[in-house]
């Protein structure tokens, strides 16, 4: 039976837990006993991948002073965990003991089953006489349940060096979310000065680019000391996928733009190290190295999370006709079959697709594919128009045509792509043929969240916000009529609401990413009415 949780109780409990962890390193040595729990569980707690009957729980223990992240030292230890329907743990419904040690960097992952659907739970861990901060999570509705509403936080691109995670604080302060969707670039691999351009609000650890297993473990550990991120993890379950910076910039199956074999060794070794650290440190289910997966939320929605880095071909150059080569792939054949079969066969009303890079064409200009294909092939140009952003789906046009044609041929309705990566905000129709849109039908829609902190266009141009970017935005929309809105400058977070009537995303922007206490304001709302495959501006933000 679901236990009611009022907003004030939830925020007070999670806020106190986060503040306790954040303060642990600032108290005098005489307060050692009071801070022992925070020292043992200094990286907080987290949950993820909610199912109707279960959820994944995560923490890390520091059993000894030398068992620091990435060190590979420290004893094997036992950690006890509990799940309860009340914050005081008077009604424990599941518990157990799990072992961890240096082979897992002393991280703990517990896949808890036997829980009730659509129910909020409290959880905590115990080790060495100390108790972790209390975390809160929520299971998914039963697969066949009629669901009136879902709400998700949507975020991506959080660069520690570029600012503070005020966008995470904003989502942690909301008690109305079922989960947080993280669309990738949870962390960045760069060393000091590598990115962003010319400044660092706070330096990365280790103080060099992450390349080895120890490096990636330390980088994950650093990010999980951020008090806003800790609070968000402790307040809501996460549903995540990775993009490129979890390994290296512009990654593809066999390499990355930001990987130099001569100085950084074998790329496959680096990728394996990064993936291992990711699965240790993130509350995510995986089978081997596979991260693409599907979660269902009653009859209302099904969410497919994609992996668009592990199987893709190397990126083509801008304006290169190689983007049309059917031998080149974004998803790999197996993942594409899984995706198409899942969308075509889904019995949920809304088909949500978590894609780390943009599906919608951004072409200069878009051209009618069937008319221009012969000439484009002769000249070695992209058949659908000038593809500039070839790290996106624009660079893998054959895969995109396969996916969109499947949606059209099978009359799949209410497909919404949820996207990160591009450090900006977009709301778009996804047409079957951008060159003839709106005569060519829209077969899906796309809603793109902006970056938590990572540099946007105004940052790259070193221009004041809402100056140089404004004519660029107007030009993009004029050339690409299916793009309903684009904003290239601001940082923040989004909230997605899904109901039987519509799916709506609200964008919220930080006043200043370089300030930990930055204010957040509502910027814009777009909604997709059920059955329309079109985005339209909403003048009524979510309450």
In this predicted model, what pLDDT tens digit does every residue of 238-249 receive, in sequence order? 999 999 999 999
Integer Cα distance of 487 and 485 in angstroms: 7
**First-to-last C-alpha distance (Å) of the chain:** 27
In this predicted structure, the answer to whether residue 20 has a pLDDT above a threshold of 50 is: no
Integer Cα distance of 23 and 43 in angstroms: 12
Contact 494, 154 (CB under 8 A): yes
Query: What are 486-497's pLDDT values in tens digits?
Result: 999 999 999 999
Interstrand relation of 492-498 and 502-510 (parallel, antiparallel or unpaired): antiparallel
Contact 131, 36 (CB under 8 A): no
What is the signed CA dihedral for 491, 492, 498, 499, rounded to 10 degrees? Answer: -110
- The mean pLDDT value for 272-301 works out to 97
Integer Cα distance of 194 and 200 in angstroms: 10
- The mean pLDDT value for 419-427 works out to 97
Q: What share of the chain is helix, strand, coil (3-state, %, to 5)?
A: 25, 25, 45
Q: What is the pTM of this model?
A: 0.92
DSSP secondary structure of 248-299: -TTEETTEETT--HHHH--HHHHHHHHHHHHHHHS----BTTB--EEEEETT
19-23, 75-79, 451-455: range with lowest mean pLDDT: 19-23
- The mean pLDDT value for 422-447 works out to 96
Strands (E), 301-432: 301-305, 350-355, 363-366, 385-387, 415-419, 425-431
Whether omega for the bond prior to residue 196 falls within 30 degrees of 0, making it cis, is yes
Tokens of 92: 């424990």
Tokens of 471: 């004519």
- The mean pLDDT value for 440-466 works out to 95
Q: How far is CA 408 from the centre of its chain?
A: 27
Integer Cα distance of 405 and 64 in angstroms: 56
Task: Provide the pLDDT for residue 371.
Answer: 47
Tokens of 299: 């009859």
Integer Cα distance of 469 and 424 in angstroms: 11
Contact 210, 219 (CB under 8 A): yes
DSSP secondary structure of 27-49: S-GGGHHHHHHHHHTTT-EEEEE
Q: How far is CA 75 from the centre of its chain?
A: 33
Domains of the chain: 1-139 (2.60.40.380), 140-537 (3.60.21.70)
Phi, psi of 485 (to 5 degrees): -160, 140
- The mean pLDDT value for 427-446 works out to 96
Mean pLDDT of the chain: 91
Task: Provide the pLDDT for residue 364.
Answer: 77
Ramachandran quadrant class, 215 (left: phi over 0; alpha: psi -120 to 50; beta: rest): alpha
Question: Which distant-in-sequence residues (6+ apart) come within 8 Å of 139 by Cβ?
Answer: 50, 51, 52, 53, 54, 55, 115, 116, 117, 118, 119, 121
Contact 315, 391 (CB under 8 A): yes
Helix, strand or coil, per DSSP, at residue 418: strand
Reported as a pLDDT band with limits 50, 70 and 90, residue 22 is very low
- The mean pLDDT value for 387-405 works out to 95
Task: Provide the pLDDT for residue 197.
Answer: 76
Task: Provide the pLDDT for residue 217.
Answer: 98
In this predicted structure, the answer to whether residue 32 has a pLDDT above a threshold of 50 is: no
Tokens of 508: 């919220």
In this predicted structure, the answer to whether residue 251 has a pLDDT above a threshold of 70 is: yes
More confident residue, 435 or 348: 348
Q: How many CA atoms, within 13 angstroms, populate the side-chain half-sphere of residue 172?
A: 27
Task: Provide the pLDDT for residue 34.
Answer: 39
Nearest CA-CA partner of 418 in 111, 214, 179 = 179
Contact 467, 380 (CB under 8 A): no
Integer Cα distance of 520 and 217 in angstroms: 31
Question: Which distant-in-sequence residues (6+ apart) come within 8 Å of 84 by Cβ?
Answer: 90, 91, 92, 93, 121, 122, 123
21-30, 408-417, 447-456: range with lowest mean pLDDT: 21-30
Task: Provide the pLDDT for residue 309.
Answer: 98
Tokens of 260: 């130099």
Nearest CA-CA partner of 152 in 167, 174, 136 = 174
The single-letter DSSP state of residue 134 is P
Integer Cα distance of 529 and 349 in angstroms: 12
Q: Which helix (H) or strand (E) holds 477?
A: helix 469-479
Q: How many CA atoms, within 13 angstroms, populate the side-chain half-sphere of residue 227?
A: 16
Task: Provide the pLDDT for residue 150.
Answer: 98
Phi, psi of 522 (to 5 degrees): -70, 135
Nearest CA-CA partner of 86 in 178, 173, 177, 13 = 13
């Amino acid at each position: 039976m679901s236990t009611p949780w009022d907003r004030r109780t939830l925020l007070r409990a999670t806020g106190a837990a986060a503040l306790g962890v954040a303060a642990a390193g600032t108290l005098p040595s005489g307060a050692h006993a009071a801070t022992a729990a925070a020292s043992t569980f200094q990286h907080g707690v987290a949950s993820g991948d909610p199912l109707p009957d279960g959820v994944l729980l995560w923490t890390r223990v520091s059993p000894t002073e030398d068992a620091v992240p990435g060190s590979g030292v420290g004893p094997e230890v036992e950690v006890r965990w509990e799940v309860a329907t009340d914050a005081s743990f008077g009604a424990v419904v599941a518990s157990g003991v799990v072992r961890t040690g240096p082979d897992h960097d002393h991280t703990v992952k517990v896949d808890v089953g036997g829980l009730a659907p659509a129910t909020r739970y409290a959880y905590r861990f115990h080790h060495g006489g100390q108790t972790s901060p209390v975390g809160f999570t929520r299971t998914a509705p039963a697969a066949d349940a009629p669901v009136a509403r879902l709400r998700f936080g949507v975020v991506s691109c959080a660069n520690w060096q570029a600012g503070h995670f005020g966008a995470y604080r904003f989502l942690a302060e909301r008690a109305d979310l079922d989960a947080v969707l993280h669309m990738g670039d949870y962390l960045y691999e760069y060393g000091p000065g590598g990115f962003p351009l010319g400044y660092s609000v706070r330096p990365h650890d280790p103080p060099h680019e992450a390349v080895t297993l120890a490096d990636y473990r330390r980088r994950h550990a650093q990010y999980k000391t951020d008090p806003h991120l800790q609070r968000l993890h402790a307040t809501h379950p996460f549903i995540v996928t990775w993009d490129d910076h979890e390994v290296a910039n512009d990654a593809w199956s066999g390499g990355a733009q930001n990987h130099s074999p001569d100085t950084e060794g074998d790329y496959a070794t680096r990728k394996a190290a990064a993936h291992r650290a990711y699965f240790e440190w993130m509350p995510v289910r995986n089978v081997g190295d596979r991260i693409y997966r599907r979660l269902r939320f009653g009859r209302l929605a099904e969410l497919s999370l994609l992996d668009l880095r592990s199987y893709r071909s190397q990126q083509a150059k801008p304006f290169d006709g190689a983007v049309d080569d059917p031998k080149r792939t974004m998803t790999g054949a197996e993942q594409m079959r899984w995706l198409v079969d899942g969308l075509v066969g889904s019995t949920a009303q809304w088909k949500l697709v978590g894609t780390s890079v943009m599906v919608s064409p951004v072409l200069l200009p878009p051209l009618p594919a069937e008319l221009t294909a012969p000439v484009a092939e002769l000249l070695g140009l992209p058949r659908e128009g000038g593809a500039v952003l070839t790290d996106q789906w624009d660079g893998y046009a054959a895969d995109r045509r396969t996916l969109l044609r499947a949606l059209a041929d099978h009359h799949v309705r209410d497909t919404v792509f949820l996207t990160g990566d591009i450090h900006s905000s977009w709301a778009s129709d996804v047409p079957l043929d951008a060159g003839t849109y709106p005569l060519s039908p829209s077969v899906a829609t796309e809603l793109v969240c902006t970056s938590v902190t990572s540099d946007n266009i105004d940052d790259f141009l070193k221009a004041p916000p809402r100056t140089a970017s404004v004519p660029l935005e107007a030009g993009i929309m004029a050339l690409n009529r299916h793009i309903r809105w684009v904003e290239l400058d601001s940082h923040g977070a989004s909230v997605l609401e899904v109901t039987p009537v519509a799916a709506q995303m609200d964008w919220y922007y930080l006043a200043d990413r370089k300030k930990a206490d930055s204010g957040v304001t509502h910027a814009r709302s777009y909604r997709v009415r059920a059955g329309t495959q079109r985005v339209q501006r909403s003048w009524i933000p979510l309450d």
